[in-house]
Every structure is written in structure tokens, then in C-alpha cells.
Amino acid sequence: MKVNDEIFIMKAFPDFHLPGFNMESYNEKFKKNNVIIHAISKDISYPEHWGCLSIKCALNGSEYYKSGNHFYEVNQNNYLIFNEGKHYSSYISSETRVESFTINFSASFENEVFNSLLNTPDKLLDNFEHEQNHKREFVERLYPHDKIISPVLFKLYKQSIIDNPDNNLIVEMYNELLEKLMFLQKNISREVQKIKAIKPSTKIELYKRLHYAKDYIDSCYTSNITLEHLASIAFLNSTYFLRTFKKNFSVTPLPVCDSKKITACKEIISLF
């Protein structure tokens, strides 16, 4: 479904096994347009492919994403952020139907919004034809549903399931979502500053690596997880990883069941 010249809503997964299916042509749609994917399946898989900046959600089950040795379970408790240029595969394997819901941003739209946020009004008017591209790298990880991003995601979800969505509202929410992403990253910056390291670049790198392991734990809690495997995911020495993980998350790097997550999950479901 075409919302306007820049936004599309896809109601079904593409069939990669069809004769003549061209992945490059498929990716072009995401490079030039903002695309909402709201599709339902019990059993489907995407081969590894390029992706644009995206926020990935799942309802009534889980969708799994793999990029390199990083693994993520997206479910009704969380959402996943991937930056533009990320290569990953994904799949759904469930006895019941799972809703996959993803918001995709084209690079041109991303740049336009960030230019408007990062430049003064005078600067925008003076350089309207020659705006500087402000490339943003968001922290790629699983985020628990929150009061910053999730309310906008829920509104977009509701628009994606009706026959006649409000086009203007969708465009407005796309802009709002990118603004919220920047606000979210400011909060992440505060978390990064708590990491004990001398260089700022070391702090952010260590933050990312610890979350690679944490996301793996949250996504593979039913598996037999070893300390050595978690350390390898984080690209850290086992002893250093154990000490640093405990210091920053105040728990040992082992799967835990948190009753607060269950309560939060019920609250989130009610919003849909």
C-alpha cells in the first residue's frame, strides 16, 4: 500500500524463493522510501541481506535476527534498532501466527530530519540546496519498551492495520520517531558515561560489547550458555568480561527471570 510518494506499507513478506526474485531491486525500495512492514507468519526466513535504519518489533510471539555472531529475539517486551548498512538474516518459527512489525527509514529522509534538528533555522535557509549530511550511528541492541519510542511505535502500528490510514499522521509520526531516537541516544550517552574507562571511544565500545552479550542472554535463555561463549560474543577476555558485566549490570551474566518484565509485558500488550 502506497501512503504517499515516500512511504509504503507492506502487508506481506516477500517470497525470496520465487524465480527471478532480485534482492538488489528489492533493497532499492528501502533505499528510496520509508517502508512499514506489517506481515504475519508462522514459518518464514529472510536470508542475509542489507538493511536501512530500522526499528523492529514483534507481537504474539518472537522474530529472531542474526548478524555475525550476534543474536536477537524480538518479542512483545522489546524492540531492536539496526543502523543503515547492517547485514542480517531473520526468521519466524512458531506454532501460532506472529506479527512482524518494522519501521524502515530511507537515508534521504533520515538526513533531512537530522539536518533540521541539528542546524539552526538561519543555517538551514542559507544552505537549503547544500545541506550537510549528519550521519548518526545508534546503539544497536534490544531495548525494553519504554515511554520514549514505544508510544510512537504503537500509533504507527494502529495505522498499519487499518484499511485507510491517515497519511499525514504517518508522516508526522515518522518525523517524531527520529526525534525520539535522538532523545533516546542522549539517555544512552548517560549510561555510557558510567562505564569505567579513560577514553570516550573505549566507553562506547565496551558498552556495545556488553550489550551484545546481554542481548544474547535475553534471546537464548533456554540454551546452555557458557561464560566463555558470552565472552567471545563480547570479544573480551572471560575474566574481564565477568568482572565488567557484573559491575555494570549488577548481576552475574546468567539468564534470570524478572517478574517486573512480566508485569511490563502485560501493560505493553494492553496498549495494542
Q: Is residue 2 part of a domain?
A: no
Contacts of 182 (CB under 8 A, 6+ apart): 114, 117, 136
Name the percent of the chain in helix, strand, coil, to the closest 5.
45, 25, 30
Amino acid identity of 220? C
pLDDT score for 4: 52
CB 197 within 8 A of CB 206: yes
Does 48 share its domain with 113? yes
CB 42 within 8 A of CB 25: no
Does 114 share its domain with 63? yes
Q: What is the pLDDT along the chain (272 residues), one digit of tens a residue?
A: 555 557 899 999 988 778 888 888 888 889 989 999 999 999 999 889 999 999 999 999 999 999 999 999 999 999 999 999 999 999 999 999 999 999 999 999 988 888 887 765 555 445 444 444 456 789 999 999 999 999 999 999 999 999 888 889 999 999 999 999 988 988 898 888 888 777 888 899 999 999 999 999 999 876 778 899 999 999 999 999 999 999 988 888 865 434 334 343 334 334 44
CB 199 within 8 A of CB 54: no
CA distance 39 to 160: 10
Does 139 share its domain with 57? yes
Whole-angstrom Cα Rg for the chain: 19
Q: Is residue 30 part of a domain?
A: yes
Q: Is residue 51 part of a domain?
A: yes
Does 142 share its domain with 26? yes
Does 30 share its domain with 148? yes
CB 214 within 8 A of CB 258: no
Does 166 share its domain with 220? no
pLDDT score for 123: 53
Does 122 share its domain with 171? yes
CA distance 210 to 12: 35
Domain that holds residue 48: 7-189
Coil/strand/helix, residue 68: coil
Domain containing 132 — which CATH number?
Answer: 2.60.120.10
Domain-terminating residue out of 163, 189, 215: 189
Q: Look at the block and give the residue holding cell 544497536.
A: 140
Domain-terminating residue out of 189, 213, 229: 189
Does 161 share its domain with 218? no
Q: Is residue 127 part of a domain?
A: yes
Does 36 share its domain with 103? yes
Q: Is residue 153 part of a domain?
A: yes
Coil/strand/helix, residue 225: coil
Domain-terminating residue out of 156, 189, 222: 189
CB 100 within 8 A of CB 60: no
CA distance 81 to 140: 5
Q: Is residue 1 part of a domain?
A: no
pLDDT score for 114: 83
CB 91 within 8 A of CB 160: no
In terms of Cβ atoms closer than 10 Å to its own Cβ (0-12, 13-18, 19+), residue 46 is: middle
Does 101 share its domain with 46? yes
CA distance 178 to 158: 18
Q: Taking the CB of residue 212, how many other CB atoms lie within 10 A of it?
A: 21
Stated pTM of the model: 0.85
Does 119 share its domain with 229? no
Q: Which of 56, 52, 65 is nearest to 6 (CA)?
A: 52
Q: Is residue 262 part of a domain?
A: yes
Q: Look at strands 78-82 and 142-144 and give their pairing.
A: antiparallel
Task: Count structural domains, the chain.
Answer: 2
Amino acid identity of 214? K
Q: Is residue 259 part of a domain?
A: yes
Q: Look at the block and give the residue holding cell 546468567.
A: 254
Does 75 share its domain with 156? yes
